[in-house]
Amino acid sequence: MNNGEIVCTGLVKTYNVGQPNEFKALRGLDLTLSEGECASIIGPSGSGKSTLLNLMSCLDTPTEGEVYIEGIDINSLNGFEKARLRREKLGFIFQQFNLIRGMTSYENIELPMRFKGLPPKERKKRVTELLDLFGLEGKERNKPTELSGGEQQRVAIARALANNPKIILADEPTGNLDTKTGEKIMDLLLRLNQEEKKTLVIVTHDQRIAQQTCKVVEIQDGRIK
């Protein structure tokens, strides 16, 4: 089964449908990302990059058009099936990290595995493995406010990878980091693409980041340029 493939066809996203301030953020967008592909999505502020990523993430539904994840039309899924697909196939990374404030690094990374219903022993093994992989040993008990930006983003990436998804979707993952820390985070993401053949989609403003990906998708006014 087309592992890690994402196909978008004729995507239209209209916000505030029928209202005077109706706005078409996507105006008919087609995009195919194959298994193991590494793509960046670039374009001016407001061009529809996050909108597109949210549709690919099943966080939002298109006004028209379809998104297929591994051949499955995500619109055909019910809420329960969608949640499972998100939990098991997709990993998300956000510019603002979006960690849960009241939880430690350990608990944040463990959370998707709890939702999946993995037994405690297996969860512990995987969290330990991820803490180690991302150089977060000694930080497992820290809450997000007790971590640096780069550390928070590493926890967020570890959390995104907890259930070993085939697809990683990242919206400005280095936007809140200094150049050097941002480079380290990019190296990590690119390694996951190269070594584990995960499909990687990165929204970025940064030309230097876009240059590191195999495919650059440029969006302007809700369409591919």
Ligand X SMILES: Nc1ncnc2c1ncn2[C@@H]1O[C@H](COP(=O)(O)OP(=O)(O)OP(=O)(O)O)[C@@H](O)[C@H]1O
Given candidates 50, 105, 153, 199, which one binds Mg ion under the rule CB under 5 A?
Answer: 50
- Residue pointed to by tokens 């595995």: 113
Binding pattern for the stretch 46-65 against ligand X, x by CB under 6 A and - elsewhere: xxxxxx--------------
Given candidates 23, 73, 83, 129, which one binds ligand X under the rule CB under 6 A?
Answer: 23
Based on the shown chain and the rule CB under 5 A, indicate whether residue 40 belongs to the binding site for Mg ion: no
- Least distance in angstroms from the C-beta of 136 to ligand X: 28
Among the listed ranges 2-10, 45-53, 81-89, 191-199, the one in contact with ligand X (CB under 6 A) is 45-53
- Least distance in angstroms from the C-beta of 180 to Mg ion: 23
Comparison of 48 and 91: residue with beta carbon closer to ligand X: 48
Exposure pattern of 58-84 as b/e (b: 16+ CB <10 Å)? beeebeebebbbbeeebeebeeeebee
Q: Retrieve residue 92's tokens.
A: 């998300």
Q: Retrieve residue 71's tokens.
A: 């051949």
Strand 167-171 versus strand 199-203 pairing type: parallel
Residues that bind ligand X (CB under 6 A): 15-16, 23, 25, 43, 45-51
